[in-house]
Amino acid sequence: MSAIAEDRPRYAAPTRVDITECRTDRIADRARSNRVGGSEVHLERRGGRTFLVTTPADR
């Protein structure tokens, strides 16, 4: 029996972080910190707000 432990947890569902008030030079850092287990990170606009969305990777 073997156990495989990942360095960082994986998200089970998409996450959405409001970054509307975030400085533009900090968005790349926020994206890197929210990328987990090969997940996809993208920006989404909704009703005048900007969100950093992390979508889980399919494994």
Instruction: With cut-offs at 50, 70 and 90, classify the pLDDT of residue 21.
Output: very high
Residue 30 lies inside a defined structural domain of this protein: yes
Residue 44 lies inside a defined structural domain of this protein: yes
Instruction: With cut-offs at 50, 70 and 90, classify the pLDDT of residue 12.
Output: low
Query: Which pLDDT score is estimated for 50?
Result: 92
Which domain, by its residues, includes 35? 15-55
Average pLDDT of the residues in 21-34: 85
Query: Which pLDDT score is estimated for 48?
Result: 92
Residue 34 pLDDT > 90? no
Residue 1 lies inside a defined structural domain of this protein: no
Q: State how far the Cα of 4 lies from the Cα of 15, in Å rounded to an integer.
A: 24
Residue 42 lies inside a defined structural domain of this protein: yes
Residue 48 lies inside a defined structural domain of this protein: yes
Number of domains the chain contains = 1
